[in-house]
Amino acid sequence: MSEQHRSVTLTVNGRTHQFDVPVRRLLSDAIRHDVGLTGTHVGCEHGVCGACTVLMDGRPVRSCLLFAVSADGAAITTVEGLAAADGTRHPVQQAFTECHALQCGFCTPGFLTTIAAALEDNSHPSEEQAEEIISGNLCRCTGYQNIKAAVLRAAELKRAAG
Amino acid sequence: MKPPAFTYHAPESLDEALGVLAEVGEDGKVLAGGQSLVPILNMRLAAPAHLVDINRVAGLSTVDTNDTSVTVGATARHTDVELDDAAYGVQPLLRQALRLVAHPVIRNRGTTVGSLAHADPAGEMTAVLALTRGSVRITSGSGSRNVDATDFFVGPLECCLRAGEMVESATFPAFPAGTGSAFIEVARRHGDYALCGVAAAVTVLDGAVSAARAAYISVGPTPLLVDLTDAVAGGAVSGGAVSGADWAAAGRLAQSQVSPEADIHSTASYRRHLVGVLTARALAEAAAAAAPTHSLPLRRSG
Amino acid sequence: MTQIFGEPITRREDARLTTGRGRFLDDLGRHALAAAFVRSPHAHARVREIDVTAALDVEGLIGIYTYDDLDGPLAEPLPLLIPHPTLTAGRTAYPLANGIVRHVGEPIAMVVGTDRYVAEDVAGLIEVTYEPLPPVVGLTASRDGDLLVHDDLPDNVAAHLMQQTGDVDAELAAAPNTVTFTQTIERSASMPLEGRGVYARWDAQDDSLRVYSSTQTSTSVRAAIAAKLELSPGKVEVIAPDVGGGFGVKIVHPWPEELLIPWAARLLDREVKWVEDRREHFISSAHERGQIQDITAGYDDEGRLLALDVRIWHDHGAYTPYGIIVPIITSTQLLGPYKPRAYRCAIDSMYTNTVIVTPYRGAGRPQGCFAMERTMDRIADALGLDRAVVRERNLIQPDEFPYDQGLTFQDGRPLIYDSGDYPESLRMIRELVGWDDFETVRSQAAAEGRTVGIGMACYVEGTGVGPYEGGHVQVENSGRVLVSTGLTSQGQGHETVFAQIVAQELGVPLDDVVVTTGDTRRFGYAVGTFASRAAVMSGNAVALAARNVRAKALRIAADALECSVDDLDIIDGVVQVKGDPSAAMALSTVAVLSNPLRYAFDNAARAATQFAPRADPLRAPVDEDDEPGLENRDYYSPIRSTFASGMHSAVVEIDRDTCETKILRYAVVHDCGNLINPMIVEGQIHGGVAQGVGGALYEVMHYDEHGQLLNASFMDFLMPYATEIPHIETAHLQTPSPLNPLGIKGAGEAGVIPGSACLASAIEDALGVRISAMPVSPSDLFELLATDPERTRRGSR
């Protein structure tokens, strides 16, 4: 049995990639394997942990719950694409370091993409909103307290940067 | 946890989609948001031979609102419905329920119509369709039919869709004037499926409660709609507050109508208990939302 | 010299981990073959036949392997890592099932394919014929012994162990008051966000193997692979790359996959990788916690504990590869900061047809703490005393250290507490949480129709167990300082804290120090990262190595600068004559001078020639007791463990109608001796508390009577999200350990230990209904309240 393949075009972090994949390949696997960007992590493959969260056309989605073929033509932002072109880390990346919001770092990419997108919509989140923003991501190391602090700090840094 | 192989179809028009669905029949499964379907595939609990991805079908992602109802297309994301102010103005229960559906990132991709077709007895939107006396438009190559909520949900994870059919849209009618609504649930963790959830609508006419209804999730095989008017009729409204309505009696009435089951998260008796508690709370909140509409000419806005 | 040790320095790991440049197991080996496993769907069964016919045509299939394909030591049962005299009936599994399976998830066949999708397709097509056997599920069934997990044993008891001090029977008989009760604590699991994983490369020309494993001990994995695959350890390299959390489950070794993947790589002469998926992690990686505890305590009218008699049944799962460390720790750490006159703890470690039980953060301590602290609450309740007061009356006093509990700890050494100040801890926690004013809070809440309660739990944690760790420190000619230690990291920030230690000891800028952990190519002898031991063990080892390097640097520099060693200091990487900054040389120059072979490859070497001492014809270029290079390797091996401690207090609110528990406040007083990096210690506490909250209110492994794990997903195994974890208030007490050069104690597990005890206490205080089983869900609370007609309620409310 030879399985069906399709050509997929993804613009990942501003760069266009075209490749053939089996139609059942998950977007998470396509990003990691076909595009070769391994910053997007896979923690559960049933959409609960949020480690694989990427931005699809600006909106955070679970890449383990999408087929690469369904994302054909989409613009994807992964954790590797958050920093500025000159390498300056995104405010949320800086805030994570400042606030010690990560330990093992495995879940971190999903938090970063989710928070980065949320700050585009809400530049001044309250504490409650900070919690809501990260409420769909699991972290087993930090107890979340410093992640919540990092959301607020990231917003502050982002506002300061203008 | 990788999905089994399937044949993938990505129709770009409704006709094309229906053609494919007719062709693949029982072997086909519609892929919309995929937030329930893809986990099932990844766990290899299902292995449809064909997936018909309707995300590229033009015209299905709309949220259309008129004076009397909100109609949600098959690929409209939960987030789009939740954030739609016009939809909220006509049927506020949509937003009230959607904020409880999983987490924001899931709602970004998951579709409201898909969650109805999934017919999970714990799915919030099934209760919304039931309480609003809504319907779905089921379409196939041989035409369309509108099916009421009551007939649509057949059992746990089972709706009345037949091979070759898909749900094209769902329509959520507005409540009668003077009606307030609320959605309350108890879940183990924020965003989890509810142990028990209640959608409630209370209508206040001439300063008195004239109707009260509630729909329940997670306490039966399909969303359960209960008319509680008898228990609370006559509750008076004054100055925006409702008094004299025996919400607890409504809770007891609701409890007598449900036969919940136990699972690893809850005993059956705790679920039944929650039906009583949450009914009282949801009705009171719905009545409070209804009251200002009557006593003050203001409308709550999103 | 800038203070570096003790400062909340941000982590150097973060630059790569926040930008997607971490190297986790699955980030390596992009083109490796992928493995998947056929795992038992039965809790107990004979494997009659394995039919692969239907699977053979799958495109991309490379190989299918069953027990019959294994040979030599690999065909023997997996090692029993930590034997113990009381573990009289230890049993381990085979890497692949040999005729019988004893838990759902036990591996039966390994499939290698071109990718994981294909490998899973193949696994799904392999038909295994089973003869189901009746499973033993749950401690009660195991204790009954009607059915057996291992049919060659007379019962389901793997080990019966006993710890005692004093004459419990006599003290109990003489005690003015006694209390007897039973309680249970359920199974949970480490559940790191990254599962396990192994990636192996065979070099056929060199007959050598390189293995990457998401492990907490790369050196021991190497030893296991070498033994089982009959390779010289020198031909096996094992590297722990970035590890996405461990919490105990990755200390077990060798996991079957850690042997089978390298074996397949050698067999096929291809790169092979296996990355555990979440379902596999639930059903085939270890769990922990499950115990039933029968407790009898004798106490006087002041609430002083005279005798404590504890009988425990510990659910060990189907096998005992990691020995009985968990029950040993429960029995020895149970006493906490208290000093009963007599204590006896008897534990039966029981087999069940469930996945194995090995340490998960806390490792038996949460259960021991639950037993002890709930005893304190019972005594307070019976006497009508404040729970803090009862605890205060039982504390070991500061002048009693070192305090010998009269027991034997997990490392086989006497259980002697090295230092601490428990009364001060208690004072601090009372102040932090407002314990003494809580009745005001309670009545205010009651006036608003709200039900609140407060709880407390205290613990002492043996940390930094031996036998040893080593550290290597090398100053390169560039001035860069390379530090390596064999133990691994899984998020603790070792690259930062070990750099802090070395920078401080050596006198170099932090940025010049580069740390490598868990790579056998760099350091061959190590034990591993568990038991809150990394900072204590490797921290002190790298400190000792750094001190040796410093001494050597001063000696060489003194020689070159023609002064006394005592006149020299190292500041910011420059060796200077005290008070005379002009007489100085960079550490990089000293590094060049340390090697008499001085080809001028670089500027540092050329520059150093001006300092080169004249050759003494009577001396060899390298002295007999010296060696070339500015480097040193040293080991830290403590005589016994060091004992950290802490106290937690929580305020909860219970919704009387829905029976939901909300944690309003969670306060922690923590003492792990000197702090290397308070920011990181705080982070460890936060994470531990979150796991404690998970274990107290949310997490449980739901096995049905057939041994099926009903909640083997993140949907139904309720790991807390941000919305479930309270804000954590912390205060630190620092009583340095007298046992090690840095005066530090471990901090990794502390946060999780008192969670269940503390929250049970608080919920009981709020509702007045006995809490004797954890975790406790809203449904549980509802049923407790429904079936508890006031009679058994605590007296106070």
What are the tens digits of pLDDT across the range B192-231? 999 999 999 999 988 889 999 999 999 999 999 999 999 9
How far apart CA A152 and CA A145 sit, in angstroms, is 11
Whether the Cβ atoms of residue C653 and residue C450 lie closer than 8 Å to each other: yes
CA distance C381 to C387: 8
B99: buried, middle or exposed (CB in 10 Å: 19+, 13-18, 0-12)? middle
The strand pair at B208-217 and B224-227 is best described as antiparallel
* Cα–Cα dist B282/B226, whole Å: 13
Which one of A23, A27, A144 makes the best mutation probe of the B interface by having the most chain B beta carbons within 10 Å?
A23
SS3 at position C107: strand
Cβ-contact A107, A43 below 8 angstroms: yes
Q: Are residues C764 and C646 in the same domain?
A: yes
CA–CA gap between residue C280 and residue C197 (Å, rounded): 11
Domain ends where: C636, C664, C698?
C636
Using a CB-CB cut-off of 8 Å, the residues of chain B touching A64 are 38, 42
pLDDT in the model for residue B298: 41
Rounded Cα gap, residues C60 and C113, in angstroms: 5
Q: What residues in chain C have per-residue pLDDT under 50?
A: 791, 793, 795-797
Number of domains in chain C: 2
CB atoms within 10 A of CB A25: 23
In whole angstroms, give the CA distance from residue B168 to residue C728.
49
Comma-separated ranges of CATH 3.30.390.50 domains in chain B: 179-295
Mean predicted confidence (pLDDT) in B28-34: 97
Q: Which two tokens stand for residue C114?
A: 């071109």
3-class secondary structure, C604: helix
Q: Cβ contact (<8 Å) for B103 and A135? A: yes
What pLDDT sits at residue B299?
40
A chain contacts of residue C192, beta-carbon cutoff 8 Å: 104, 106, 140
The burial of B269, by beta-carbon neighbours within 10 Å (0-12 exposed, 13-18 middle, 19 or more buried), is given as middle
Edge-to-edge strand ranges of the sheet holding A59-62: A15-22, A5-12, A75-77, A53-56, A59-62
Gap between the Cα atoms of A77 and C276, Å rounded: 26
In C639-720, which ranges are E strands? 642-654, 661-671
On whether the CB atoms of residues B30 and B61 are closer than 8 A, the answer is: no
Length of chain A: 162
Q: Which two tokens stand for residue C446?
A: 């009651």
Distance from CA of A60 to the nearest CA of B (A): 6
Q: Do C334 and C396 fall into the same domain?
A: yes
CB contact under 8 A, A45 and C277: yes
Alpha-carbon distance of C488 to C550, in angstroms, equals 25
d(CA B17, CA B165): 10
Q: Are residues C433 and C345 in the same domain?
A: yes
Same domain, residue pair C685 and C743: yes
Q: Is there a single domain that holds both residue C366 and residue C439?
A: yes
Q: Are strands A5-12 and B28-31 parallel, antiparallel or unpaired?
A: unpaired
Residues of C in contact with B186 (CB under 8 A): 658, 660, 778
* Average pLDDT, rounded, for chain B: 93
The H or E element that residue C258 is part of is helix C256-268
Q: Please identify among residues 187-226 of chain B the ones whose CB lies closer than 8 Å to any CB of chain C.
A: 188-193, 195
Nearest of A141, A108, A160, A147 to residue C15 by alpha carbon: A108
Domain's final residue, options C583, C606, C636: C636
Chain A residues with at least one Cβ partner in B under 8 Å: 1, 3-4, 6, 22-24, 26, 29, 45-47, 50, 53, 59-62, 64-67, 69-70, 72, 114, 132-133, 135-136
Alpha-carbon torsion angle B253, B258, B261, B262, nearest 10 = -20
Token readout for C644 is: 């950290």
Question: Side chain identity at C559, as an amino acid letter?
Answer: D
Q: Are C630 and C648 in a shared domain?
A: no
Helix (H/G/I), strand (E/B), else coil: C657:
coil
CB A40 within 8 A of CB A60: no
With contact defined as beta carbons under 8 Å apart, do A31 and A54 qualify? yes
User: What's the confidence (pLDDT) of residue C422?
Assistant: 98
Q: In what order do the strands lie in the sheet with C342-350?
A: C157-165, C342-350, C305-315, C291-299, C177-185, C773-774
Architecture of the B179-295 domain: 2-Layer Sandwich (3.30)
With respect to residue C587, please indicate whether it lies within any of the assigned structural domains: yes
Angle of the C494-506 helix axis to the C534-561 helix axis, nearest 10: 30
Does residue B294 register a pLDDT over 50?
Answer: no
Check residue B244 and give its pLDDT.
Answer: 76
Report which of C349, C351, C285 is spatially closest to residue C318, judged by C-alpha positions.
C351
- Could you tell me which chains touch chain A, where touching means 3 or more CB pairs under 8 A? B, C
Dump pLDDT digits (tens) for B248-292: 999 999 999 999 999 999 999 999 999 999 999 999 999 999 976
DSSP code at position B193: P
CATH of domain A91-161: 1.10.150.120
Left, alpha or beta for C317 (phi > 0: left; psi -120 to 50: alpha)? Answer: left
Residue B3 DSSP symbol: P
In terms of domains, do C613 and C762 share one? no
B245 pLDDT band, cuts 50/70/90, is confident
Identify all chain A residues contacting C690, using CB atoms and an 8 Å cutoff: 140, 142-144
Output the six-digit token pair for C109. 């066949």
Which CATH class for the B1-54+61-174 domain? alpha beta
- C621 and C485, same structural domain? yes
| pTM for the full predicted model | 0.96
Q: Tell me the chain C residues in contact with residue A109 when contact means C-beta distances shorter than 8 Å.
A: 20
CA atoms of B87 and B83, how far apart (whole Å):
8
Which range marks the domain in which residue C526 is found? 469-636
H helices present in chain A, as ranges: 27-29, 91-98, 108-121, 127-133, 145-161
Chain C contact partners (≥3 CB pairs within 8 A): A, B
Going by C-beta distance under 8 Å and a sequence separation of 6 or more, which residues neighbour residue C38? C50, C107, C108, C109, C110, C111, C123, C126, C128
**Residue C797's pLDDT is what?**
41
Mark which residues 578-617 of C lie under 8 Å from A by CB.
Answer: none
**Which residue among C586, C606, C636 closes a domain?**
C636
CA separation for the pair A37, A81 (Å, rounded): 10
Query: Which residue, among C262, C229, C235, has the nearest Cα to C75 in the 3D structure?
Result: C229
- What values do phi and psi take at C583, rounded to 5? -95, 95
Which 3-state string (H, E, C) describes B214-283?
Answer: EEEECCCCCCEEEECHHHHCCCEEECCEEECCCHHHHHHHHHHHCCCCCECCECHHHHHHHHHHHHHHHH
**Chain B residue set in contact with A, beta carbons under 8 Å:** 1-8, 10, 31, 34-35, 38-39, 42-43, 51, 53, 55, 79, 102-106, 108-109, 190-191
- Whole-angstrom distance, CA of residue C259 vs CA of residue C229: 8
Place of tokens 């948001």: B33
* Residues C215/C25, Cβ–Cβ less than 8 Å: no
Alpha-carbon dihedral sign for residues B117, B122, B128, B129: positive
**pLDDT at residue B295 is higher than 80:** no
Number of Cβ within 10 Å of residue B100's Cβ equals 19
Radius of gyration of chain C (CA): 28
ipTM, 2 decimals? Answer: 0.98
| Residue B243 CB partners (closer than 8 Å, separation 6+) | B235, B236, B237
Shortest Cα distance, chain A CAs vs residue C689, angstroms: 7
Is C181 within a domain?
no
Domain CATH number, residue C562: 3.30.365.10
Rounded to an integer, what distance in angstroms lies between the CA atom of residue A66 and that of residue B100? 22
* B184/chain C closest Cα distance in angstroms: 12
CB contact under 8 A, A105 and C689: no
**Residue segments in chain A with a per-residue pLDDT below the cut of 70:** 1
- CA separation for the pair A111, A104 (Å, rounded): 13
Domain residue extents for chain A? 5-81, 91-161
Whether domain A5-81 has CATH 3.40.605.10: the reply is no
In our burial notation (b when 16+ CB lie closer than 10 A, e otherwise), range A54-66 reads: bbbeebbbbbbbb
CB B104 within 8 A of CB B190: no
How many other CB atoms sit within 10 Å of the CB of residue C547? Answer: 17
By Cβ distance, the residue of C679, C690, C715 closest to A143 is C690
Confidence of residue B151 (pLDDT cuts 50, 70, 90): very high
Write the DSSP assignment of C401-435 as a string of letters. Answer: -SEEEEEE-TTSSEEEE----HHHHHHHHHHHHTG
Amino acid found at C591: A
